């Protein structure tokens, strides 16, 4: 009986002892970037159903530029601005390199509830554009597979529809900026609300191909001058 009581006392006491023992947290880049995972998902792999984008596997140059834009006020997000306010360019580059190097599987898209005609319109805009309105195809800059182009053009697949709509809207209203000349702002301002809904719905409904790394080069000459390609990250 005494032995049983002694064992029970030891078991009950163990959590208290452990609670008083400081946990050893490794000082690694992966550990320091845990706050990013709170919004962007485990290892930067956000789901398709939320608003926040997946950052794992995006081109390092693109991620670095966006971190600079958030820190320096060209992109508006209070949480990102607060997290990055005191970070140096060198550390932002290190962050970008970490997430760019992650090669993780993509979830399959959920079937889109959008009408067939709307999806068809989105496909035309994404793959062919609309020359009459000086709208280049998304694929002209973001690659024929829509997986991005090195070093600074992001992939468009695997992103939530609401996120795509939100970013195009932010460029239309001037809430989002890039380095001049801001080609995305020029393009977004030529889009109607129906155009935005269509292209976002179609892109969000597409599966991400295997080996979805960004292409080494664009499929041809870019249709507009863009600050991100005129002045790529050094």
Stated pTM of the model: 0.83
> The domain containing residue 148 runs over which residues?
46-230
Residue 14 clears pLDDT 50, i.e. is over it: no
Among 53, 44, 232, residue whose Cα is nearest residue 151 = 232
CB 75 within 8 A of CB 167: no
Q: Tell whether 178 is covered by a domain.
A: yes
Q: Tell whether 7 is covered by a domain.
A: no
- Which has more confidence, 24 or 217? 217
- pLDDT of 62: 94
Residue 43 clears pLDDT 90, i.e. is over it: no
Within 8 A by CB and 6+ apart from 159, the residues are: 48, 53, 54, 203, 204
Average pLDDT value for residue range 187-215: 95
- pLDDT of 6: 41
Q: Tell whether 131 is covered by a domain.
A: yes
CB atoms within 10 A of CB 136: 19
Q: What angle do CA 137, 191, 47 make, to 5 degrees?
A: 75
How many domains, in total, are found in the chain? 1
Torsion of CA 182, 188, 190, 195, to 10 degrees: 160
Place 11 in a pLDDT band, splitting at 50, 70 and 90: very low
Average pLDDT value for residue range 189-212: 95
CATH of the domain at 78: 1.10.760.10
Average pLDDT value for residue range 187-213: 95
Residue 30 clears pLDDT 50, i.e. is over it: yes
Lowest mean pLDDT across 116-120, 129-133, 174-178, 198-202: 174-178
Read off the tokens for 142: 């973001």
**How many whole angstroms separate alpha carbon 141 and alpha carbon 229?**
10
SS3 137: coil
């Amino acid at each position: 009986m005494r032995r049983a009581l002694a064992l029970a006392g030891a078991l009950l006491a163990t959590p208290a002892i452990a609670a008083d023992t400081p946990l050893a947290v490794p000082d690694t880049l992966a550990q320091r970037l845990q706050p990013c995972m709170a919004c962007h998902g485990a290892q930067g792999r956000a789901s398709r159903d939320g608003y926040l984008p997946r950052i794992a596997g995006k081109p390092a140059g693109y991620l670095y530029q966006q971190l600079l834009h958030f820190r320096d006020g060209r992109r508006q997000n209070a949480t990102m601005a607060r997290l990055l306010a005191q970070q140096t360019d060198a550390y932002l580059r290190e962050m970008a390199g970490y997430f760019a190097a992650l090669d993780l599987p993509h979830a399959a898209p959920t079937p889109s509830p959008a009408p067939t005609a709307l999806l068809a319109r989105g496909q035309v805009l994404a793959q062919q554009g609309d020359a009459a309105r000086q709208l280049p195809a998304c694929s002209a800059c973001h690659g024929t597979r829509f997986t991005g182009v090195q070093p600074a053009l992001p992939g468009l697949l695997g992103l939530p529809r609401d996120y795509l709509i939100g970013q195009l809207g932010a460029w239309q209203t001037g809430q989002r900026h890039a380095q001049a000349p801001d080609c995305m702002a020029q393009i977004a301002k030529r889009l109607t609300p129906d155009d935005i809904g269509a292209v976002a719905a179609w892109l969000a409904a597409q599966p991400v191909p295997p080996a979805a790394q960004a292409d080494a080069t664009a499929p041809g000459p870019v249709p507009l001058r863009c600050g991100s390609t005129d002045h790529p990250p050094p």
